[in-house]
Structure formats: structure tokens, C-alpha cells
Amino acid sequence: MSAVRVRFSPAPSGSLHVGGARTALFNWLFARHHGGVFLVRIEDTDTSRTREAWVTGILETLRWLGLDWDEDPVRQSRRGAAYREAVDHLLATGAAYEAFETPEELEEMHEARRRAGLPPGYDGRARDLTPAQREALRAEGRPVTIRFRTPDEGTSTFVDLVRGPVSVDWATVSDFVIVRADGTPLFFLANAVDDLAMGITHVIRGEDLLDSTHRVLAIRRALGADDEPRYAHLPLILRPDRAKLSKRHGAVAVEEYRDRGYLAAALVNYLALLGWSPPDGREVLDRDELVAAFELDRVNPSAAIFDETKLTWLNGEWMRRLSLDELVTQVRPFVEDRHPDAEPDLVRAGAALGQERSATLVELAEQMEFLFVTDDELEPDDEGCRRLAATERVAELLDAVIDHLERCEWTPDGVDLRPVVRALGLLPRKVMPALYAAVEGRPRGLPLFEAMLLLGRERTLARLRAARARVGDVGAQPLH
């Protein structure tokens, strides 16, 4: 087999979503596994839907995911000359022809065919116009598009790497437009021309493009190509309600997951498991392990639902695997977003305590937030207030704790409150949440004694006294 050359070819009509990212990843894994070349091609022939910001955004997101490409990205918008040359050839050989229908006429045609039980499409009325007829239509000022002439009979078949042989009767495929009235090329044409020019050996993409393969291959042959790339159509990724993932619904943009505190390693790992699995059944795999294990023949053909819960679990796995240095680097932006002046040492200490208790960077940042708010700002959340109010003998407890912390040694052993709680005849499991609420603002969080050491004696006491004032004397009264 010749050296592998694959490409990821997004249309820049939005940011990179998880479906596109999975396609990019599989191409990248395939290339890296075989020591091949991974390319990016921006399919921006539809200028009305393209925005430059989307192009840079997509490339930036690919970089964030660690999917590096080997040559400068190809822009279809700059390859007009190549497409024109190809069209001239197709026109000259009769593989394509000019058509002159208005949008209204086409709409009518689609309707009529639908009524006749045919798929909407083109009836081929401009196929055999004479040069004179074409001139006349052009003189009327009608729009001119170029259509590819599909066979009237016979079957198109190609062997898909994940689905096996796929066939369709040409009779069901009508002549389709390859050049718009404004002269710009359409997907089928650009795709065929570019894959040929770029020497693409394997086309790995979503199943939504399965049907278009016959048409692209037909153009390619009409262009004189004597070989064809191997195709692998990946199963689609569906939303939990089984609908197709789209930008309209839910968090499907990769950048959104990044902003919500997910690690690139976790996203890559999770995406790799959607439609593929390694032979040994491992699930937590790093980039190198994925590259080593990846094979197209283990891609399964059925659609998969994107399960954010499992992604979150994997993210937790990867958070725990990070070194403390890496974790601090990753979480710092999330902390500084709300507390720009957060002390680096405290961030580091908080990250160390929270590393195995959080599944996302956002969660980790929230857990340590109590370290960066002033004692005045700290307000127990709703659940914290409830726990405070519902804890038996809470005033007595707080008094004892305050009393202890005022005089104890400020060391790990000194601030251990378990003896204090037990001396009151209370169970730590029952009453600790109230203390967490008082010091950290929520009834659960980073280990309390370590947290108090980080805050220091004065700040800890200030928070406990504020909580004591909040509960009043109610808790101090025996209930019976």
C-alpha cells in the first residue's frame, strides 16, 4: 500500500463540534498509526456560510485537541483555477452540461417528481440542448449552472472499509449541480478534484456522506483518475434523544467542553471510544496508546449516542492522572477567571486537595473558591444553611470548636476536631457538614482540617464566629 494520506475537511460554517472532532481524530489516529500524513482542508466553497473566525476557531480547537497536521491547510476558496480546469474537461467530454432552469422551475420539478413517487431531483431536460438552444436560453438572462450527467442504468458499488460493499442504482441518482450559477463549485466537484490533487489514499468521514460517495467517485472517474481512495464511513454520533447532533441543541461544540473544564486528553479518549474499541477492552487510553491500537477494521457501523456522564467520568480519571504541576496549570485559568489575584501557593494547595474529588476543572475551581473569598463575602449556600440549621446542638458545637481553635496548636494534629466533637457526645458523620458549611460555605468540600490550616487561625475563627452568630442560641437549648 502506498503511504497513507488522509485529510479532515471541515466546512467552516460553525465551530468544531464533537462529531467533526471525532472524524478528525479518527483520520489523525489512522495517519499516525500508519506513519502517514494527516492534512486539513477547509471546504469553504459556500462563501455565504463561511466566516473567517470559524476557520481560525476550528484550527485552534484541533490544536487544543493535539491533532497536528502535516502540511499547510488547503483552502478550497483559493482553488478556483483547478475546479475550472476540471469543469472544462467534464464539459468537453460530455460528462457534464449546462442547465438553465430558474429556482422556481426546479422547485416545481421537485414537487412534480415527489407527487409521482420519485425522489426529488432533476429530470435531465437540459441534457441534450443544441449549442443554439443554449445560446437562446443564455440570452434570456437565465441562470447557468453546470450539472454532472449520471448514468441512466446500472449500479454503482464501492467497498466501504467499515460497511463492506455499498450499492445504489444509478436510476435513483439524478443529474446534480457541480457549479453554481455564480460560478463557484459545489461539494461533489471540489471534493473529487481535491482528493485527487492531494493524493488522498483513505477517506474517513461521517456516515451522512455515504450516499454522496457514488457521485464523487463518478466525477473522479470522469476526470480520468485510474485509481480511487478507500472509503470508511464512521457511524454518526447522536444526541441522547437519538436525534442527530447539531449546533442548535445542547453542548456539542468542543470549545464549550473546554470552557466547562474538560481536558483535551479526556475528550480525545472518549471520542475514540465512540464507534471504536481496542482489542483488549481497555478504556482509559492516552494519545500514544490510541495511536498504537487504532485500526479501521475495529470501527463498528452503528450509530452511537453521546453520553456526557461517561465523558465526565473519564475526565475525572484524567484529572487524577495529571501531575500536580500539570493540574495547577490547567485549573489556574478557571480560578483566575473569578479571582484574578488568587495566590499561586493557595491554588496549588487547593488543587492538591481537590484533585481526586472533582471530575472537571470547573468543579475543582469551585471547590477551592472558599480560599479566595473574604470572610465577609463567604455566605453558606442554601444546602449549607439547611445543614447548619438542622444540626443538633449546633450552637454548643460551634462554641466548643471556636474555643478549641482559639487555643490549640495550629498544626495538623492540633486542629483535628474529632476529639472535640466526640467530647460533646456527637457523631462526626452527623455534625461535620455544619462545620464545612461554616468554613467552606458548603456542607461538603475539601478536607476541613487541611482547609483550616490553609486559611489560617484568624480567618477560620472569623468564619466560625459568623456562623455562630447566624444560628443564634436556638441550637443551644435542649429540645426537651
Partner RNA sequence: GCCCCCAUCGUCUAGCGGCCCAGGACGCCGCCCUUUCAAGGCGGUAACGGGGAUUCGAAUUCCCCUGGGGGCACCA
Subset of 198-237 contacting RNA (CB under 7 A): 207-212, 235-236
Q: Is 247 one of the annotated active-site residues of the chain? A: yes
Residue 176, SS3?
strand
- For RNA, give the closer residue by CB, 85 or 307: 307
Shortest Å distance, C-beta 377 to RNA? 20
77 belongs to the binding site for RNA (CB under 7 A) = no
- For RNA, give the closer residue by CB, 3 or 249: 249
Q: Please choose, out of 66-74, 95-103, 133-141, 288-296, the segment that lies near RNA by the rule CB under 7 A.
A: 95-103
- For RNA, give the closer residue by CB, 89 or 142: 142
Spatial distance between the Cα atoms of 237 and 234, rounded to a whole number of angstroms:
9
User: Left, alpha or beta for 156 (phi > 0: left; psi -120 to 50: alpha)?
Assistant: beta
84 belongs to the binding site for RNA (CB under 7 A) = no
Spatial distance between the Cα atoms of 466 and 459, rounded to a whole number of angstroms:
11
Cβ-based neighbours of 255, under 8 Å, separated by 6 or more:
15, 16, 57, 61
- For RNA, give the closer residue by CB, 191 or 201: 191
Shortest Å distance, C-beta 457 to RNA? 17
In this chain, which of 23, 45, 61, 330 binds RNA, going by CB under 7 A?
Answer: 45
Spatial distance between the Cα atoms of 223 and 178, rounded to a whole number of angstroms:
13
- For RNA, give the closer residue by CB, 305 or 336: 305
Cβ-based neighbours of 370, under 8 Å, separated by 6 or more:
378, 439, 440, 441, 442, 445, 451
181 belongs to the binding site for RNA (CB under 7 A) = yes
Interaction pattern, residues 3-22, with RNA; x per rule: CB under 7 A: ------xxx-x---------
298 belongs to the binding site for RNA (CB under 7 A) = yes
In this chain, which of 2, 302, 323, 374 binds RNA, going by CB under 7 A?
Answer: 302
Residue 205, SS3?
strand
154 belongs to the binding site for RNA (CB under 7 A) = no
404 belongs to the binding site for RNA (CB under 7 A) = no
C-alpha cell at 160: 466501504
Shortest Å distance, C-beta 230 to RNA? 16
Separation in Å, CA 109 to CA 100, 167, 296, 329: 13, 26, 42, 60
Q: For residue 358, which of 332, 319, 307, 330 has the smallest C-alpha distance?
A: 319
Separation in Å, CA 443 to CA 120, 379, 388, 389: 62, 12, 8, 12
DSSP 8-state secondary structure symbol assigned to residue 414: T
Using the structure block, give the residue that is written with the C-alpha cell 493540574.
327
Phi and psi (nearest 5°) for 74? Answer: -90, 135
- For RNA, give the closer residue by CB, 201 or 355: 355
Subset of 408-447 contacting RNA (CB under 7 A): 418, 428-429, 432-433, 436, 443-447
110 belongs to the binding site for RNA (CB under 7 A) = yes
Q: Which of 244, 247, 310, 430 is catalytic?
A: 247
Subset of 261-290 contacting RNA (CB under 7 A): 273-275, 277, 279, 281, 283
Subset of 379-398 contacting RNA (CB under 7 A): none
Residue 17, SS3?
strand
Residues catalogued as catalytic: 247
